[in-house]
Amino acid sequence: MGRKKPRVLLIRPKYTSLVANLEPLGLEYLAGLAKELKINCRIHDEFQYPWAMRLYRLVRRIEHGKFDFIGFNANANTVDIIIKRARQLKQRFPNITIMVGGPEAELNYKEFCTDDIDIVYYDNGLMTLKKMWSEGYTSDKLRDLSGICYKENGKWIIKEKGAPVCGFITKPDRTAFYKGLKNNYIFMKGKFALSKASFSCPYNCTFCYCTKMNSGEYTERDLMEVVDEIEELKHDKIWFVDDTFFFDKERVRAFCNEVLRRGLKKQFMAYARADFLAANPDILPLAYKAGFRDIMVGLEAISDETLDEYNKQTSRNENIMAIKNLRDAGLVCNGLFVINYTATRDDFRKLLQFVKGNNLLWVVFGIFTPYKGTDAYDEYKDKLIHFKSWRLDGTHLTLKPTNMSSVEFMLRYYWLHAVTYPKIIVRAMLGTAYDTKKKGWF
């Protein structure tokens, strides 16, 4: 530790995901910062490697690269593996510094205050990290920083979080993206680069994790900076991972006009809320012209009652209007649904009817999960079952279904996929999956 420049290895732990394998954008921002500070830094993205021999591979990489600063990127479903890995690595390399950051650390930093982890990074933005890497990270230095937990005489010190941010202090180093391109995919959609143009979300759905980020404050990046970034990106498909990209109509208009003015030929995917899409059909043709094709819409539920329960602040009618408006503009609605643990057999049946009745081809079904740090967690924490970190990915039950057995619930959940996904596959293979006017299988 001290002033000697660290040799940094950033790790994205692998987890099961059948629908996508994407670039580690969060870590690429850290790599970008390291590059700026002339620090030797590599990303070890476990998604690029098989499941077998993960620890062996990691240990070899640390030995060969002589890395002495390890940064883990934590999601809700990788907490246990990170804690375990930190223990294993500390046994082999007692002198390395282990830091944990990422979305889960930002919300639930205390989970990582263990014996084998040295620093938990939960600040908004990377300014604290910049100071750590340039001025050192001994406890006398860390004492003055915000948004970190560290140890002094074996005792955890928790420094208050800094102010919300509205931009990045550096550019991402996309080496990992270009290198990992052959393995990059989104189910039936192809390879996507990621970009983030805003932080957090102005809404407050009970189950949502994203809205708690950036101290719960929604902020936007400078728009021209975002367009510059996508112009520089050597890839044609870009997914804006903003929690809701279509929020401010004038900003969307300005973005589209700038993309058209610069003549950028890119294909965009982004999140939008049903109420926005229902109320603003006029902006959608321009969005199409600028290159938007995939719109991810958190439809969540098909009854006003469940939508209210989720505090979604949308309605069934808005969901229907949103799907229609997107279809009319030639934009693909990717309907995201959250199946409640209270779902009845009839609810499952009606959901399929809704999907068919509204000619929705692209659908994603998740299971209601009260992630730690969300409002739902406070409400349901006494009722949780099998709440193990690796199960927290929205495809496992963490609350006992109230209207059927867990086995039946899961069979019905798989059935939703069995009924809807073959059509996506057939249409994608025939090249008609983006024809929003088509109804059938071909």
Cβ proximity to ligand SF4, 273 vs 396, nearer residue: 273
Cβ proximity to ligand SF4, 31 vs 213, nearer residue: 213
Task: Based on the shown chain and the rule CB under 6 A, indicate whether residue 104 belongs to the binding site for ligand SF4.
Answer: no
Residue 164: CB minimum distance to ligand SF4, A: 16
Task: Based on the shown chain and the rule CB under 6 A, indicate whether residue 369 belongs to the binding site for ligand SF4.
Answer: no
Task: Based on the shown chain and the rule CB under 6 A, indicate whether residue 111 belongs to the binding site for ligand SF4.
Answer: no
Taking residues 246 to 285 in sequence order and writing x for each that binds ligand SF4 by CB under 6 A, - otherwise, the string is ---------------------------x------------
Taking residues 280 to 309 in sequence order and writing x for each that binds ligand SF4 by CB under 6 A, - otherwise, the string is ------------------x-----------
Which residue, 186, 300, 288, 202, is CA-closest to 242? 202
Cβ proximity to ligand SF4, 211 vs 369, nearer residue: 211
Cβ proximity to ligand SF4, 75 vs 170, nearer residue: 75
Task: Based on the shown chain and the rule CB under 6 A, indicate whether residue 203 belongs to the binding site for ligand SF4.
Answer: yes
Question: In the set 184, 211, 325, 369, which binds ligand SF4 (CB under 6 A)?
Answer: 211
Task: Based on the shown chain and the rule CB under 6 A, indicate whether residue 219 belongs to the binding site for ligand SF4.
Answer: no
Task: Based on the shown chain and the rule CB under 6 A, indicate whether residue 243 belongs to the binding site for ligand SF4.
Answer: yes
Question: In the set 146, 204, 219, 358, which binds ligand SF4 (CB under 6 A)?
Answer: 204
Residue 280: CB minimum distance to ligand SF4, A: 15
Contacting range for ligand SF4; rule: CB under 6 A; set: 207-215, 252-260, 282-290, 431-439: 207-215
Residue 211: CB minimum distance to ligand SF4, A: 4
Question: In the set 244, 306, 319, 325, which binds ligand SF4 (CB under 6 A)?
Answer: 244
CB contact set of 41 (below 8 Å; sequence gap of 6+): 7, 8, 9, 10, 30, 31, 34, 35
Task: Based on the shown chain and the rule CB under 6 A, indicate whether residue 106 belongs to the binding site for ligand SF4.
Answer: no
Contacting residues toward ligand SF4, per CB under 6 A:
201, 203-205, 208, 210-211, 243-244, 273, 298
